[in-house]
Chain A
Amino acid sequence: MNLRKYLKVYKKFLHTSLASELEYKANILVDLITAILSLVGSVFLLSIFFQNSGYIGGWKFEQALIIQAIYTILNGITNTWFNPNLTEIVKHIREGTLDFVLLKPIDSQFFISLKKLNPSGFLEIMLGFFLFFFCIRINQINLNLSFLTLSTITISCSICILYSLWFFISTTTIWFVKTWNAIEVLRSFLYIGRFPLNSFSFSLRIFFSVFIPIAFITTIPSEVFLGLSELWKILLEFIVASVFLITSRKFWLFALKFYSSASS
């Protein structure tokens, strides 16, 4: 594995996809408005929930806003990297162009996971950070070094889990050819990440932490920010993230054995 080579290749990816996406400048503006509106909408929904009750699942409104902020950042990351690339896998497999990817002297997972980039997601990430800093102020969180490292670790773990979930579903294209709808199902499940896990009933809580670990993605990092999290939860998230990453890698290599190109 040659790190420098991969960095160089990635720089080229960045360059080409930025160039092609910036062709649609108006589109980026529309995407920004969409991101702002969807944040406003979910804060509105939260305010309806909190209209007549001070706590939802043990979370105050100000605390629940942190979850929104983290969700927005992660959603921005999804829209910047995961969504454009992983929908491309479906195309590669259906049209048989995955052959060309496999022939390249570079890791195929690296190539298909990072080839494209959608810059309008950056704006969403920034929007998430704005809300996030606002939350830090209204919740009077003291920033210190150990706290920052812990939160960086948990957020990176969340990103890994999110990536693995997307990659997992996209990989199944090798068998099923069309997975648009499976991606749609994942999207609607991820929507749950906008709310604290404790606000759901016990059975759903189990479902979203064991089967689809959406609980880990937003709730645990938010708890870390509020200083509510216990060490075992952070460790658990770390373990879940590593298991997911390794499995998604193994699954990709396994799936490739079944790849037989289009029309053969």
Chain B
Amino acid sequence: MLEYRVEIALWAISGIIPFFMLNIWTNNNLNESINISDIMLSRYFLCAFFVRQFSVVWVVFSFEEDSLMGKVSPYLIQPLNPFLRYFAQHLAEQITRFPFALIIAFFFFIFNPESIWIPNLGILLLSIVSTFLSFLIQFLIQSIVACLCFWTEKASSIERLLFIPTLFLSGLLAPVVSFPTYVKSWIYLTPFPYLIDFPANLLSGNETNISGGIGMQILWIFLLFPLFKKIWSEGTKKYTAMGS
């Protein structure tokens, strides 16, 4: 992984959209209406950036390529679910990404020195846990989509479709608190706000329901995991290597 330093640095840069959004929010004083101060909002978006960096998943693209190239066949013979292999890759890359994310945070604090804060240890640990749970949810959803590769050749376009609600509803571009009430009434039943909004609120010290949030994350993992198991076993039965 360390071989691809520049690549990972660029990945980290491509995640800076939350900062642009922060700029729109504070520059137009939009946050006054939702009762979040400038400082809390900037912390929120910084945390959203961090959570996104450590929960981003691309398993469907790797799996699609491997499946089209016929690399999945040898993986299937091994006595280990190939998704564990991708899982390990994701974890390794997240660790390499950590220093780059820190550098970006450092620059952020240079420009916004008033928003420096130190979360207490308990909150920090809890938010690491919830970021990891968010990563697990996204990994499971994408693995389910990736399994569709057994039926269709372009599962990644379904992933691109699913990415749109994730982008707009997860809180990456605007905190969920600011959403109109007709959206807020149902959004907490979907997995989206637990992907970024909840861990980011937790880490930045904004108001949030800690036990409820983590409970919902775990609930979604319990719902998605059997689904993945099912579609995986169906898919592998259906599997015929490319070109046969």
> B174 to A57, Cβ gap below 8 A?
no
Residues of B within 8 A of A185 (CB): 10, 13-14
**What is the minimal beta-carbon distance from A150 to any residue of chain B, in angstroms?**
28
**What is the minimal beta-carbon distance from B234 to any residue of chain A, in angstroms?**
19
> A30 to B158, Cβ gap below 8 A?
yes
Give Cα A37–Cα B165 distance, bound, in whole angstroms: 8
Count residues on chain B whose CB falls below 8 Å from chain A CBs. Answer: 38
**What is the minimal beta-carbon distance from A256 to any residue of chain B, in angstroms?**
23
Summed over the interface, the residue pairs from A and B with CB atoms below 8 Å come to a total of 94
Residues of A within 8 A of B90 (CB): none
Task: Summarize A's interface: helix, strand, loop or mixed.
Answer: helix
Residue in contact with A182 in the complex, picked from B8, B10, B20, CB distance below 8 Å: B10
Chain B, residues 107-151, CB within 8 Å of chain A (1/0): the string is 000000000000000000000000000000000000000000000
Task: Give the most central of B17, B34, B164, B173: most A CB within 10 Å.
Answer: B164
> B168 to A41, Cβ gap below 8 A?
yes
Count residues on chain A whose CB falls below 8 Å from chain B CBs. Answer: 37
Tell whether A239 is near chain B: CB-to-CB under 8 Å: no
Chain B, residues 26-48, CB within 8 Å of chain A (1/0): the string is 01111011100000000000000
Tell whether B66 is near chain A: CB-to-CB under 8 Å: no
Which A residues from 55 to 81 make CB contacts under 8 A with B?
56-57
Give Cα A47–Cα B165 distance, bound, in whole angstroms: 16
Tell whether A152 is near chain B: CB-to-CB under 8 Å: no
> B10 to A181, Cβ gap below 8 A?
yes
> A48 to B174, Cβ gap below 8 A?
yes
Q: Known contacts being A26-B152, A27-B154, A188-B17, is A49 close to B164, with CB within 8 Å?
A: no
Apart from A44-B168, A53-B33: 20 A-B pairs, beta carbons within 8 A: A31-B157, A33-B161, A34-B157, A34-B164, A41-B165, A45-B168, A49-B30, A49-B174, A53-B28, A56-B28, A178-B4, A178-B7, A180-B7, A181-B7, A181-B8, A182-B10, A184-B11, A188-B16, A188-B17, A201-B27
